[in-house]
Structure 1
């Protein structure tokens, strides 16, 4: 079983913001895999289905970004999953707008949602798909991540979100190393 977690904030006011690109990838995967993400469980909205013979759970934590680990920990504990069967998808201000970075493991960097996941799991050796949302030249970081993309940025990000969904499926279908070779760049 694979658990694919897209990070974001619940609520209409956060839809389509930079901080919610993880949720957007889950939406693309939901459509692509015909998995309805509509059950409330594990402090999240989830959907379960199959992909190439593997059971898949798509997850959108509903704890707000900075407490995302609460949802992830509940799922990982309940199913007693190996870390390599968890894939977390999230926005990254330290990656150029529209770029993807897949990693096998690593620190949370500046991302509070990832910090909470790593803190609660006490492990950082799980695959992640980081989506570059750019960085503000100046101003408040919180304001920046809660902003929507400009029309030009949105065109780029729609493509990036689609590629992030494909990269996530490549992690499951192939492995993390092959997905990194295909999608990092």
Structure 2
């Protein structure tokens, strides 16, 4: 799948990255799943299985069709199910948004950007490698760096703390607001609402 001209009626695809299964649900690596869950909840949409690889929900934002996806392969293998959805629904790469956890931002902050390297995130790397391009939008959901003595692997697979969970509704609402603004008004306006300096 390569970037092409965006047609006015093409849908958006917002793919939250995470690991499948109930144990992983509230771990930091599943920030992408939690974000698309919040968007679906806002719009009264339900996720349904599409093949073996993905759960998909469909919403409308000001009349624009938006597909929400949770790839069910483990996060490091996210590229193939995301690419399959782009082909199936005719989504141009310019309208793909990947929601990921990000160590470079403190919890509660984040950034929207187009393109750039994966920054050590293997799920984002997989998407870029399978698509053959990095020209998609990423919402980077801050989870902060691990405390001294804890590995990155342990940190991203650790569940959010009680304090983080207490703040979670507000954090998810900010992310959902930014994604809806992106669909309605474009990337620059959405960036103004969400982006912070690392």
- What do residues 101-154 of structure 1 show as CA deviations (whole Å, max 9, x unaligned)? 110221111100000000000111111110000111332211110111111122
**Which residues in structure 2 correspond to 1:4-43 (within 5 Å)?**
4-41=14-51, 43=53
Q: CA deviation at 1:31?
A: 0.9
**Corresponding position: 1:154 with 2:165:** yes
Q: Measure, in 2, the Cα distance between the counterparts of 1:154 and 1:49.
A: 26
Q: CA deviation at 1:57?
A: 0.8
RMSD: 1.3
SS in 2 for 1:35: coil
TM-aligned CA distance change 1:42 to 1:87, over 3 Å: farther
Report the TM-score when normalising by structure 2. 0.89
**Corresponding position: 1:67 with 2:39:** no
Partner of 1:81: 91
Report the TM-score when normalising by structure 1. 0.95
**Corresponding position: 1:44 with 2:54:** yes
- Residues 83 and 126, structure 1, Cα contact 8 Å, conserved in 2: yes
Length, aligned pairs only: 185
Partner of 2:138: 128
Q: Measure, in 2, the Cα distance between the counterparts of 1:138 and 1:70.
A: 34
- Residues 94 and 137, structure 2, Cα contact 8 Å, conserved in 1: yes
Q: Measure, in 2, the Cα distance between the counterparts of 1:153 and 1:35.
A: 26
TM-aligned CA distance change 1:148 to 1:176, over 3 Å: same
Q: CA deviation at 1:184?
A: 0.8
Q: Mark the runs of 5 or more structure 2 residues left unpaired by the alignment.
A: 1-10
- Residues 40 and 59, structure 2, Cα contact 8 Å, conserved in 1: no
Q: Measure, in 1, the Cα distance between the counterparts of 2:105 and 2:149.
A: 16
Aligned partner (choices 158, 173, 176) of residue 187 of structure 2: 176
Q: Mark the runs of 5 or more structure 1 residues left unpaired by the alignment.
A: none
Q: Greater CA deviation, 34-43 or 8-17? A: 34-43
Q: CA deviation at 1:157?
A: 3.2
Q: CA deviation at 1:18?
A: 0.4
